[in-house]
Structure formats: C-alpha cells, structure tokens
Structure 1
Amino acid sequence: MNRAFLHLAAAALLTLPLLPAHAAEREPYGIGLEGFAYPYPVSLLPLVNDGEQVRMAYMDVAPAQPNGRTVVLLHGRNFPASYWAPVIKTLNDSGYRVVVPDQIGFGKSSKPAGELHFDTLARNTIALLDHLQIAKFDIVAHSMGGMLGVRITRAYPERVPRLLLIAPIGLEDYRLYVPPTPTEKIIENEDKLTADGYRKQLEVNYSLKLPPDQVTPFIESRFNIKGAADYPRWLRAFVSSGQMIYREPVVHEIPLIAQPTLFIMGADDHNAPGRPNAPEALRPKMGQNADLAVALAAKMPNAHAEVIPNTGHLVFLEARQKFDELMLSFLAK
C-alpha cells in the first residue's frame, strides 16, 4: 500500500462525523447513581439505621430572596430526587428554601442490607432537618413520598404546618386486594425486566403524558446501574421498598391529619402497586385515585382535593402551570 493512499485514508477518517455519546458503550452508573447528574450540589448525611451505617443524600437549595420558609420535597419510588428540578426552581423563585432528600434505599443515598420501613425513613428525614437546624417545614410529596409525608406529619405534627400530596399512592390498603408475594419472587421478576419493558410499564401504570425523551432519564437511572458490581444490593433494596408500601399502609391515618392538606391529582392516574398480582375480578376496583382523594379530603378537618383533567401520575411535570398555581396558592395561605 503506497504512502499517498495512507494519507488519503487518514484524511477521510478525520472528516467522519463523531458518533453521539450515547452510541458508545457507557460506564454503568454506581448503585448510588454515581455518574448520573443532579441539578444542584448533593451533600451526604451519615446516619445509622438498625445498626447499619448509611449516608443520606440531599440537595439544600437556597433562594436569592428568602421568605423565611422551607419546603421539603419527598420523591416517589421510581424516581431520583433530580426530577424535582422544575419544582425547586418555582419554589426558589418565590423565596422558599428547598430541601430535597433521596431517602435511604433510593437515588444517591445508601442501599441498606436491611429492610426499609416508613418509620425509619421518617426519622431519617427529621434527623436531616435537625442537622440543617430547620424547625418547621411544609411538605410537598409525590407518589410513595406521599405515604412518607403522611407518616411524618402524623408523627411530628408540630413540625409540619402544611402537607401537599401530589398523586400519592397509599390512598387504599393494597392488602385488601393483593395476596402477599415472597420477596425472592419479586426480585426474580424485577431482574427479568428490560428497559423497554420498564418504559411500557411506566407509560401504562402512570398514564404518562410526557414525551419519550423526558421519560428516558428515569429509564437510565434504573437500567444503567445493572452493570454495577453491587447491583444485587440495589435490587434487594428496591424490592424492599415495594414490600414496605404493601405492608405499611397509611390510608387509615390520613383522615386523622389536622393540618391544612391539599391533594393534587391527575384525573387519568390509576396507578395501583401490586395490581397485576391481584385476582382479576378485583383489579378494576384498584387505583381510582382521584375519587379516593376526594373522599378522603371530605373526611379530614382541613383538606381539599384538586383534580387536573387529562393528566396522569407525574402531575407536576405534565401540567406544570396549573400545578405551580395550585402549589404556590396553597403554601401562601
């Protein structure tokens, strides 16, 4: 092969378009979502849960012009705390300090070897706020975070002036519909799930109205950790969170909440954890979430439910303007 040909070949290679980053094989994220970007700096608080040393990740975002109040955002089961980015900005712009933890077992926080419990997560959250010297805080909680928000509000009523529940799960007792399922069986099923299958699962279970590119980070934050050496530890913690939802209902506590409470529901949100494992005749009765929220609010001394039409489970991302209006109006009262 002559020298002129080699020069031409080299020149041709230099003019080829670069492949996009996602076309190359990426390093897997760590099970603490190392490698997955969050919108604000993340700090870690050392804790001890059931004798195990763990670290709780959180964002603490200060506004440019503080109004002297703090909002704590509580995430759902299938979402990293990063998905709160637009809500953080809205609250910051209105003067609120915003504290956004990843609960132990989720996101950038430790994945414990022991089982997860709402009482433990509640104590962890209070420990974080004590560490930050925040005595009172409003709670804005989504999905599974709504169940935790209920538990915190009931356990520490003097700390929580207001509770805003966004498409919360736990508005019914899933044990009335779904038989108990062994943890090992759930682990086996979850391990078989593919990224495409998970996307379809989110689209169906959550009645998603978001464009596919906005759903992709949720897929990546779960499936790009499968190559991590300690992935089995993450998987067991994830399944433990599902068992926590099943075994530790909060619906019976909700009518006892005296603080001002607002439910913001998507009219199309029929998410019901465990529905595929329920007897077929019972499945249609599960997940009537907007109706359940309206009925529960009517039993509470100071509660109201707003139902946004043509909206699914991710209310604050799907109907941002309407959600922001409702949230800011409620917090300002």
Structure 2
Amino acid sequence: MKSVFFFLFITLSLSLSAQQNNLKWLDLMLANYDYPFPAKHLSLHVQQQDLKMAYMDVTPQNHNGKNVLLLHGKNFNGAYWESTAKALTERGYRVIMPDQIGFGKSSKPAYFHYTFQLLAENTIQLLDSLGISKTAVLGHSMGGMLATRFALMFPEITEKLILVSPIGLEDWKLKVPYKSVDWWYQRELSKTYDDIKSYQKSSYYDGKWKPEYDRWVNLLAGWTLNSGYERIAWNAALTYDMIFTQPVVYEFQDIEAPTLLIIGTRDRTALGKQLVSEEVRLTMGLYDELGKATHQKIPDSKLVELDGIGHLPHIESFERYIQPLLNFLDE
C-alpha cells in the first residue's frame, strides 16, 4: 500500500510540475511536434525488425552541388539544426538532417543493439536512397563520435569532417566505473522537467538561461508525460552504453578527410562524472585541452576555439560558430 501511495505522489508531482511549466505531452515519435522543415521517413529492416528513420532534406534553388550531413547529439534531434541549415542552404548547400534510430521522429525499438557502426550504416542507406555519393559530415556531441566513425568507415564519401564540441575525445572507461544498461535505465526513468532543465542550465550554459533554450528542455521533458516513456528511457540507456564502451579516441590518426574542430573552451561535458571523486572529476571534460590534443592527432585538421562558450556553440553563440564553418566548407 505504501508503494502505491508513493507512485501516486510521484505521478501527481510530475503532473503539477508539467502544468507549472506549460509542458506539452509528446508522442513517442514526435508526431505532434513540428520540425523546421518537412520530415520524411526511410524504411529500414535492422536486427530482425522494421524501423523508420526520420530525416529532413533541404535542397536550395541555388544548389552549388555540395552536400552537408548534420548528425545530432544524444539529448537532441535534427530540429536543433534549424539555424545551421538555413545558413548553409543560403550558401547553396543541400542539407540532410537525420534522426538516428531511438531519437526524435525515428522509431524507438523495444530491443536494439546500438553501435556507432550500425548507425553509420543506417545513415549510408539514407544517403544512398537520396542519391548522395559525396558529402561533408558535421557531428555535434554524440554526433561527433558518429561522424568520426562514419568518416573512418566511408572515407570515399566523406569530403570534409566537422566536429562541433564532440564527446569522445577521451576514454572515460579509464576513469569511470562501468554501470549496466539497467542502471542507466533507472536513472532515465527518474528524470523530471526540473532535472533536465537543471542539467542543461549548468552543463550547457554555465548557469545562465535564455527563453529560447526552453524548447530543448521541453522536447525531452514532454516525453516523460507519455505513458510509454519507458521505451524512451530504455533507448537512452542503450545509447549511454554505446558511448561508454565504443570509444573513437584511438583512431583519430586514421581520419583521411580534411577536418575542422570547433570547440567551446568552457565545455566540461564528460560521461560518468557523478560516479567519480571530485579529484578525478576535475581531470575530465577539459575541452580547452582536449581540443588541442585532438587537433594534433587528426592529420589534416584545423582547430577553432570559441573562448567562453560551452557544449552548444550553434545554440549559445551562433555567429561565432557559423562563420568558421562556412569558411571551411567554402575552401
């Protein structure tokens, strides 16, 4: 009986929090959420199941013959590329923005073995379906790890590589104790609107908040109101395990494509910080050092450091981020 009352208390608390923050219930595949450009779906048959991979594909009238593939981070989807896509299409680039399986408007499978190699293969299938044989590849955060794996697997397709505040510039397994998928799952299940906003405020924006940041909290928190949120939490847990156990840091020297690193020097993102001592924590996610070290590892690379900017340069300081990106693509 006590557990029933506790469940009711948690449910009521979540409901009141949602009302206070005008939080909108979201469909598991975001059917009731509008993306900045028309969203389409590619049918995939993967791991004995039929899945849908969502994507946006924007070709400008003044297409210059070049393409840019934008790969999102773990806590996001293709929608947060809106400003980047508009700037690129104005310059004549065709822009493709997929939602990886488990994210955004794509399928949320009940069972799935996540690997960066598989996500790269899915992305190649998308490009093949669109008739794209050459593209620049840009990845942010977790998308930076995927973009790196993509460039390593498909060097003949990757014309240029851009890594924007990518995670995976260090191997967290060397410092952080392993936690099972079930542990990450329980952690995801407990998340609330306040938890999500607090994390983004402290981790992304250095404790400062602007109203335009609300939409990225609401996209995650709106799912917590869905009775099927367990499916979202499970996929999130599986991708945590993928990130933790599949480092790319040991292969940067094998990247063949000309590469641009755009690093926010204030960024301190690192998986598993809460699991280590304060002493160890202070050695993790030091992007002002990691950017330089990664630049030295990638043979044909350029480094742009954005002083005082955190994990989301394209949201926090768009003008400082977009100009070096356009300059690099135009070369």
- TM-score of the aligned structures, taking structure 2 as reference length: 0.90
Match of 1:166 in 2: 164
- Structure 2 residue identity aligned to 1:139: V
The superposition leaves residues 301-330 of structure 1 with CA deviations (integer Å, 9 ceiling, x where unpaired) of 211211111211110122211211100110
Query: d(CA) in 1 for partners of 2:180 and 2:306?
Result: 37
CA contact (8 A) 1:57 1:103 kept: yes
The superposition leaves residues 38-59 of structure 1 with CA deviations (integer Å, 9 ceiling, x where unpaired) of 1000000000221121100000
Match of 2:117 in 1: 119
Match of 1:156 in 2: 154
Match of 2:81 in 1: 84
Query: d(CA) in 1 for partners of 2:266 and 2:91?
Result: 29
Distance 1:189 1:65, change over 3 A: same
How do 1:167-246 residues align onto structure 2 when only pairs under 5 Å count?
A: 167-208=165-206, 211-246=209-244
Query: d(CA) in 2 for partners of 1:279 and 1:198?
Result: 23
Query: d(CA) in 2 for partners of 1:38 and 1:277?
Result: 36
Q: Which moved more, 1:199-208 or 1:117-126?
A: 199-208
Q: Which moved more, 1:209-218 or 1:258-267?
A: 209-218
| Alignment length (residue pairs) | 312
Corresponding position: 1:108 with 2:102: no
- Structure 1 residue identity aligned to 2:123: T
Match of 2:247 in 1: 249
Pick the aligned partner of 1:98 from 95, 111, 127: 95
Corresponding position: 1:74 with 2:71: yes
Query: d(CA) in 1 for partners of 2:208 and 2:121?
Result: 34
The alpha carbon displacement at 1:209 in A equals 7.5
How do 1:277-316 residues align onto structure 2 when only pairs under 5 Å count?
A: 277-316=275-314
Query: d(CA) in 1 for partners of 2:253 and 2:273?
Result: 24
Query: d(CA) in 1 for partners of 2:199 and 2:70?
Result: 25
CA contact (8 A) 2:24 2:218 kept: no
Distance 1:82 1:175, change over 3 A: same
Corresponding position: 1:50 with 2:47: yes
How do 1:312-331 residues align onto structure 2 when only pairs under 5 Å count?
A: 312-331=310-329
Query: d(CA) in 2 for partners of 1:43 and 1:31?
Result: 16
Pick the aligned partner of 2:271 from 273, 285, 299: 273
SS in 1 for 2:238: helix
SS in 2 for 1:295: helix
- Structure 1 residue identity aligned to 2:124: I
- Percent identical pairs in the alignment equals 36
- Structure 2 residue identity aligned to 1:101: P
The superposition leaves residues 209-248 of structure 1 with CA deviations (integer Å, 9 ceiling, x where unpaired) of 8743222111111111123232111110011111110011
Pick the aligned partner of 2:132 from 128, 134, 149: 134
Query: d(CA) in 2 for partners of 1:203 and 1:26?
Result: 17
- TM-score of the aligned structures, taking structure 1 as reference length: 0.90
CA contact (8 A) 2:56 2:97 kept: yes
The alpha carbon displacement at 1:117 in A equals 1.2
Query: d(CA) in 2 for partners of 1:163 and 1:103?
Result: 18
CA contact (8 A) 2:201 2:209 kept: no
Q: Which moved more, 1:206-215 or 1:89-98?
A: 206-215
Query: d(CA) in 2 for partners of 1:26 and 1:202?
Result: 16
Structure 1 residue ranges, 4+ long, deviating more than 4 angstroms after superposition: 22-27
The superposition leaves residues 115-142 of structure 1 with CA deviations (integer Å, 9 ceiling, x where unpaired) of 3211110000000000000000001111
Structure 2: any 5+ residue segments left out of the alignment?
1-18
Query: d(CA) in 2 for partners of 1:99 and 1:36?
Result: 19
Corresponding position: 1:59 with 2:56: yes
Query: d(CA) in 2 for partners of 1:152 and 1:90?
Result: 24
Match of 1:14 in 2: none
Q: Which moved more, 1:102-111 or 1:287-296?
A: 287-296
CA contact (8 A) 1:207 1:268 kept: no
CA contact (8 A) 2:134 2:159 kept: yes
Query: d(CA) in 2 for partners of 1:223 and 1:326?
Result: 33
CA contact (8 A) 2:263 2:306 kept: yes
Query: d(CA) in 2 for partners of 1:122 and 1:97?
Result: 19
User: Which of 1 and 2 has greater Rg?
Assistant: 1
The alpha carbon displacement at 1:283 in A equals 1.0
SS in 1 for 2:131: coil
Distance 1:327 1:195, change over 3 A: same
The superposition leaves residues 13-65 of structure 1 with CA deviations (integer Å, 9 ceiling, x where unpaired) of xxxxxxxxx87977621111121221000000000221121100000001121
The superposition leaves residues 90-149 of structure 1 with CA deviations (integer Å, 9 ceiling, x where unpaired) of 000000000000001111100122132111100000000000000000011111000000
